[in-house]
Amino acid sequence: MQHLKKIFWLLLITQPLVRNPAMAQEGEKLFKQNCGACHLMGKRLVGPDLTGITDRQTEEWIKAFIKSSQTVIKSGDPEAVAIFKEYNELLMPDQNLSAGEIDQVIGYLKGFSAPAATDAAPAEPEAPMEFTDADRELGQALFVGSTRFANKGASCISCHNVTNDQVMLGGHFAKDLTGVFGRMGAAGVAGIIGASPFPAMATSYANAPLTEQEVHALTAFLEHADKVSAEQTARSLYEPFVIYGGGGLIALLLVIGVHWRGRMKQHVKRDIFARQLRSN
Amino acid sequence: MNVRSQITMVFHLDKCIGCHTCSIACKNIWTDRRGAEYMWWNNVETKPGTGYPTKWEDQDIYKGGWVKDGNSVSLRGAGKWKGLKNIFHNPNMPVLEDYYEPWTYKYSDLFTAPEGDDQPTARPVSLVTGEHIDVKAGPNWDDDLGGSPDYARKDVNFKDLSPVEQESMFQLERMMMFYLPRICNHCLNPACVGSCPSGALYKRGEDGIVLLNQERCRAWRMCVTACPYKKSYYNWNTGKSEKCILCYPRLESGQAPACMHSCVGRIRYLGVMLYDADRIEAVASCPENELVDRQMEIYLDPNDPQVIAAAKANGIADSTIRSAQQSPVYKFVKEWGIALPLHPEYRTLPNLFYVPPMLPAMASVDSDGVYDSTTKSLWGGVETSRLPMAYLASLFTAGDEEKVRNVLRKLLAVKIHRRDTTVGDLTKEEVEEALQIGKTNPGEADAIFRLTSLATFNERFVIPPAHREESIEMIEATADVKGETGFGFKMKPARGL
């Protein structure tokens, strides 16, 4: 027991000093799992390029931002607000990481200090994804659910809506994806679909990951949806509900009123009670 | 011929004194429970009056009983389609106000009230909500013509009477009333059984008692609507409907039902009758004016060798056949024909028959202008009865006044014959004429008199042995339950026995 305590204290004291390769590896793994969908070192993806971030910001700031970006933004931090504005007010979800894990991620980020980034050759423009009509069709089928995902995940339309005449109204639980391709680009969309940083989506697909082909097809469909979004008729989710629901209710009440018009409407003693004297 | 046995009853209305002892006996045994306070499996109504629940006889309101439907009958307010339509909300049921809100008094206030200028009172408290209430109605507030403008004048049976006739029933020296005790009729064609979507109601094979299985009842309350006599009640506490069980535990041990046993006026008779179950549909669906006669035909002569053979072939015990031969009900209903079913037009073929009441004669003004409320003879003629025949006909014969008149004439003949026997102040012609009009003879008159006035307990109640030893053999090996009949568990306790 004594022994363990000693080890514990030793670890605690030396912990910030230690930057061993094993920890950096751990940090890289965590980064790829949790941040990789939006962030890439040396290249701007959905989120900003994080090269040299440790030089630009203090460690506390980074920690707070990873924990809850919205808290930092709402606190009015000018730099955080500026980033938020720059990236189309796209939310960075809160990360479910422990303090130790965040340290590991920061440790990994420190490996990409500013000079290294500047040294690196400007990122070569990546080859744009190629989308065929077949991809788009498969993507639409997968989105709507007429074709099931290979691993039986829920189809996108359960939670997401896309304004497209070919597709029926989707769910309103999550973001409308009509213009998502325009905001995030192919890499961003594919990244989020493949390994979502959003907790609800990550949990939903934790046991039903999408295949690469499916990710590609869905990206193709979303690209198409974005491209043709201007030609689509916007449909309201609520108007038909009000019209059909209200109309249906009135019709139902009419049927009930007519069909059961001969029902007992009052008890038979009403005139007897009406003649009685009351004490109050 | 499909012979079955049926427990049947006769209530002699001339003998009813309206004391409600029957109702109290029944309540004390069966319905003195939470949720059952408003149930009166047995109740006594004053006629004319609206009864309990109020206006129960008005089937335009409550949609009870059967209606003729070609060569068969269909339920007026329940059944497959009508029932399905109303299954989640049945609009034709009596509501609490149509019965009454049961109440008690807060007696503790009498002892715990602080000292004050006024005497403490026990205020009425609802047995449903526990709140103080203004008592607005009771189950027999029409008693003895109480509240006549509200209750008596709204009698549903006035439908066949002209306004003048109705008015005359409420004039001094013309006013009259009688009591109508009612229990479940244990009908041959029970509407409650026909209406139940859960199959919880059934007619017992051995004696025709209609029962409601509390384990199968799902509170659809179709039986409440369907029973035209409103003798099925919904228990709001248990969520099950309940009805008169004709005290079957008492019958099975040879005792008369509590209401009958306790009857002060000894108006009640109970016995077995054999009937032909194959004829039920044909009888129930016959034209309205034939209903009473056809129902009488369905009951078979228990002394007829053919009937006895058919009964035996159907598994009816010899002891039951013997009981049927001694049945007082058979005598009243079939031999003498002086007991009539209540509201036969509901087509349920009720098994409770009533001897209609003889009521005081109307006063008259003679040629000298003298107002005279006495009559020449001790009893006025049937023709001068205060009670319009149409009223009795509406109750007992689906509108056939002649049938009621025949019964009353016979009852009058019995009285005249007995006066001749015991007092001897009548001329021979008078007596013979009365017997002739009454279509009876001295022997029959004496028999009617005897069973009406002098009958002992065992003559009034001829209860067939229940043969429980046989019924148990059908269910289990008797050796297993030897010595424990009546003390076993119906559902075994969870932790075992």
Considering only CA atoms, which of B68, B275, B58, B93 is closest in space to residue B187?
A: B275
Largest separation between any pair of C-alpha atoms in chain B: 88
Residues A56 and A82 in one domain: yes
pLDDT tens-digit profile of A21-80?
Answer: 566 677 888 887 778 777 877 777 777 888 878 888 888 888 888 888 888 888 888 888
- Which of A263, A269, A279 lies nearest to residue B91, judging by beta carbons? A263
In a domain, A34, yes or no: yes
In a domain, A238, yes or no: no
pLDDT tens-digit profile of A122-146?
Answer: 445 556 678 888 899 999 999 999 9
In a domain, A124, yes or no: no
Whether pTM exceeds 0.80: no
Residue A10 has pLDDT above 60, yes or no: no
Q: What span, in angstroms and rounded, lies between the C-alpha atoms of B398 and B333?
A: 17
Q: Does B136 touch chain A (CB under 8 A)?
A: yes
Residues A224 and A259 in one domain: no
**pLDDT tier at A279 (50, 70, 90 boundaries)?**
low
Alpha-carbon dihedral sign for residues B397, B401, B407, B411: positive
In a domain, A280, yes or no: no
Q: Which two tokens stand for residue A170?
A: 């989707």
Largest separation between any pair of C-alpha atoms in chain A: 102
Residues A202 and A113 in one domain: no
* Cα within 13 Å of Cα(A220), Cβ side: 20
- Spell out the domain ranges in chain B: 11-259, 280-460
Residues A74 and A156 in one domain: no
Considering only CA atoms, which of A183, A180, A149, A147 is closest in space to residue A162?
A: A180
Q: Which residue of A has its CA nearest to B225?
A: A264
Positions of chain B with pLDDT lower than 70, given as ranges? 360-366, 371-380, 481-490, 497
Q: Which residue of B has its CA nearest to A266?
A: B95
**Which class is B280-460 in CATH?**
mainly alpha
Q: How many domains does chain A have?
A: 3
In a domain, A24, yes or no: yes
The kind and range of the H/E element at B242 are strand B240-243
Selected residue with higher pLDDT from A172 and B352? B352
Residues comprising chain A, all counted: 280
Residues A9 and A102 in one domain: yes
Q: What span, in angstroms and rounded, lies between the C-alpha atoms of B474 and B482?
A: 14
Task: Render A161-218 in DSSP notation, one character per residue.
Answer: B---TTS----SSS-B-TTHHHHHHHHHHHHHHHS--SHHHHHHTTTSPPPHHHHHHH
Assign residue B39 a region: left if phi > 0, alpha if psi is -120 to 50, beta otherwise? beta
Q: How many CB pairs under 8 A join A and B?
A: 45
Q: What span, in angstroms and rounded, lies between the C-alpha atoms of B379 and B382?
A: 9
* Cα within 13 Å of Cα(A20), Cβ side: 4
Query: Which range marks the domain in which residue A156 is found?
Result: 133-231
Residues A99 and A141 in one domain: no
Mutate to test the interface with A, among B134, B142, B224 (most CBs of A within 10 A): B134
Of all residues in chain A, the percent with pLDDT exceeding 70 is 84
Which range is least confidently modeled, A231-240, A255-264, B315-324, B376-385? B376-385
pLDDT tens-digit profile of B122-175?
Answer: 999 999 999 999 998 999 998 998 888 889 999 999 988 888 888 888 887 778
Q: Which residues of B touch A258 (CB under 8 A)?
A: none
Q: Which two tokens stand for residue A126?
A: 């990546």
Q: Calculate the CA B324 to chain-centre distance.
A: 20
pLDDT number for residue A185 = 81
Q: What span, in angstroms and rounded, lies between the C-alpha atoms of A92 and A46?
A: 10
- Which of B61, B85, B134 lies nearest to residue A268, judging by beta carbons? B61
pLDDT number for residue A18 = 46
pLDDT number for residue B378 = 62
Q: Does B95 touch chain A (CB under 8 A)?
A: yes
B136·A264 Cβ contact <8 A: no
pLDDT tens-digit profile of A71-126?
Answer: 888 888 888 888 887 777 777 877 778 888 888 888 888 877 655 444 444 445 55
| Helix residue ranges, H only, B314-388 | 318-325, 328-330
Residues A225 and A247 in one domain: no
Computed over every residue of chain A, the mean pLDDT equals 80
**pLDDT tier at A193 (50, 70, 90 boundaries)?**
confident
Residues A145 and A207 in one domain: yes
B98·A263 Cβ contact <8 A: no
A273·B98 Cβ contact <8 A: no
Q: Which residue of A has its CA nearest to B55?
A: A268
pLDDT number for residue A20 = 55
CATH number of the domain encompassing residue A177: 1.10.760.10
Amino acid at B259: C
Task: Render B416-453 in DSSP notation, one character per residue.
Answer: HHHHHHHT--S-HHHHHHHHHHTT--HHHHHHHHIIII
Residues A140 and A166 in one domain: yes
pLDDT tens-digit profile of B353-383?
Answer: 999 998 766 666 667 777 666 666 666 678 7
In a domain, A237, yes or no: no
Interface of B with A in 25-64 (CB under 8 A): 50, 53-55, 58, 61-62
Residues A112 and A166 in one domain: no
- Which of A263, A275, A280 lies nearest to residue B150, judging by beta carbons? A275
- Which of A119, A144, A161 is the last residue before a domain boundary? A119
Selected residue with higher pLDDT from B402 and A170? B402
pLDDT number for residue B487 = 56
In a domain, A167, yes or no: yes
